[in-house]
Structure 1
Amino acid sequence: MPQIMLMKAEYLVLLSLLLTTVVITNAFYIKKQFYPSVVYLTKSSTSLAVLYVQAFVFVILFGKLVQRIFLGQLRAIETEHLYDRAWFSITETCLAFTVFRDDFSPRFVALFAILLFLKCFHWLLEDRVDYMEQSPVLGTIFHARVVGLLSVLCLLDYLFISSAYMHTIAKGASVQIVFGFEYAILLVSVISTAINIGRIANNGNV
């Protein structure tokens, strides 16, 4: 069953690459030059849809790479928790963003995708730390991965909070306020996870 799912995923990746190649080639064939072709792609709803799908595929592939580096193979319970939280988070965040629906743009879609991407790894980190507490016999690589992921997430949360703050100060209230609060919540969760790791270490489980 996993092999069948993997083959389907590979076919979807190849299909998205093929569609993207066709769309970009068609734009250059019609407009002949780079800038007019880019304008054509951004004005065509069909082309944008294909490019969004391709971007989504790249995000998934990058997420798989980050997962392999910092987490390795996910446990079944971690995957289940990830899917459950993702659907709830998407619904909750979309409701919050309706206040700033006039700010919707490709940039907004990109920022939303980044937020959801980082949320997923915050959740996985929490589950992995819970696993640390239940399994006292773990290798050095496991602990290095967890600390590395925690450090990266903490840094990214801080950078996005700073960016949202500076944008709000410069241009006033916008959707960046929601992003700022979302990342502030994530930063608090990372700090809480770090404290939990310290508690586990103090109890001799690390």
Structure 2
Amino acid sequence: MMRLQTYAGLSVLATLAAIYHAFSSRGQFYPATVYLSTSKVCLVLLLNICLVIMCIMWQLTKLVFLGSLREAEVERLNEQSWREVMEILFAITIFRQDFSVMFLAMVTALLLIKSLHWLAQKRVEYIETTPTVTMLSHVRIVSFMGFLLLVDCLFLYNSVIYLIQTRQASVSLFFSFEYMILATTTISTFVKYVFYVSDMLMEGQWERKAVYTFYLELIRDLLHLSMYLGFFLVIFVNYGVPLHLIRELYETFRNFKSRIADYIRYRNITSNMNDRFPDATPEELNASDATCIICREEMTTAKRLVCGHLFHVHCLRSWLERQHTCPTCRALVIPNEGGPTTTRSLAGAPRQGQLIFMF
């Protein structure tokens, strides 16, 4: 922050010096403004001060809604930033005929807004895995997501209005697409946060949380996949192959396909649990520890897995919503289905299953 303050101070001094030189040498307002807009040095200084202002606004937004960043959030920010910069550079090559000072400013604003979305997602993940969170943290993150959604909608509205007015393909297609992705991601993150708060109010007894989370992420991936395909086709027809979309399109398709496969596997396992997993006999309950390792309660009736471990039927069903392995020995619940890759979590949150195992 101190480095930004120093750089901002030097930038303000340089900009004021350029403005003073323009007005003192030209004498009148109009010639001075023409000089400022045509001189390459003055133009660079003005663009630089605009960048400084955006960075200061970004820092203030971060401090108001998030406070100090955690180490994991800083790492996420650094990793995503470099990748996003490369993708934006590819996008600039596609829209090179629309390149202008305004386009450069909009791209910079998009990158800063995207970084705020990454931080919001990481902070929600942190809140979900932290036992004690202050009320102020909840108020801040809800306000932050509302602020981000408002910003997304404003930029999306401006881009769509420009497209309607011009009725031709332009760089506004790129910004409309990007802010649609950001808006749907923000809504998904907020709904996921609502699921967490609801489960917290129920003291962790909401058994359907994992399934609803899975449906939420499935719908989000389906929307994103549809948007990527539509945008890919539009850009391909009007500009050529959008190289910066290929990786995102592939990852979105792969995630969507994995979630569908996980859900089908889960339905196949749980559709005939009574036939697939026999009831434990009284002798088996007496011969082993009669405590369900998932809920830590005594078992009077239980289901037996292929590996021989016993669990409550409702606990086993809840576990299978997140994992496809035995909570005790990590053996596959159905050895002949899938392979080592079937240990993936249905709801995309293996950490939750591990917490259940620990407690």
Superposition TM-score, scaled by structure 1 size? 0.91
| 2:189 counterpart residue number | 193
| 1:202 counterpart residue number | 198
| 2:82 counterpart residue number | 87
State how far apart, in whole Å, the 1-side matches of 2:8 and 2:16 are.
Answer: 12
How far has the Cα of 1:140 moved from its partner? 1.2
CA RMSD of aligned residues (A): 1.6
Q: 1:22 aligns with which of 11, 17, 35?
A: 17
| 2:29 counterpart residue number | 34
| 1:175 counterpart residue number | 171
| 1:153 counterpart residue number | 148
Identity among equivalent positions (%) equals 35
Map of 1:87-126 to 2, 5 A cutoff? 87-126=82-121
Q: Is the 8 A contact 1:16 1:50 kept in 2?
A: yes
Q: Which amino acid aligns with 2:48?
A: V
Q: Where does structure 1 differ by over 3 angstroms across 4 or more consecutive aligned residues?
A: none
How far has the Cα of 1:97 moved from its partner? 2.7
Q: 1:130 aligns with which of 125, 129, 133?
A: 125
How far has the Cα of 1:35 moved from its partner? 2.6
Q: Which amino acid aligns with 1:114?
A: A
How far has the Cα of 1:85 moved from its partner? 0.9
Q: Which amino acid aligns with 1:120?
A: S
Where relative contact order (Cα < 8 A, 6+ residues apart) is larger, the structure is: 1
Q: Is the 8 A contact 1:97 1:175 kept in 2?
A: no
* Unaligned runs of at least 5 residues, structure 1: none
Matched, 1:55 2:50: yes
State how far apart, in whole Å, the 1-side matches of 2:44 and 2:177 are.
Answer: 29
Q: 1:184 aligns with which of 180, 186, 191?
A: 180
State how far apart, in whole Å, the 1-side matches of 2:131 and 2:32 are.
Answer: 57
* Unaligned runs of at least 5 residues, structure 2: 204-359
Q: Which amino acid aligns with 1:169?
A: I
State how far apart, in whole Å, the 2-side matches of 1:53 and 1:100 are.
Answer: 23
More helix by percentage: 1
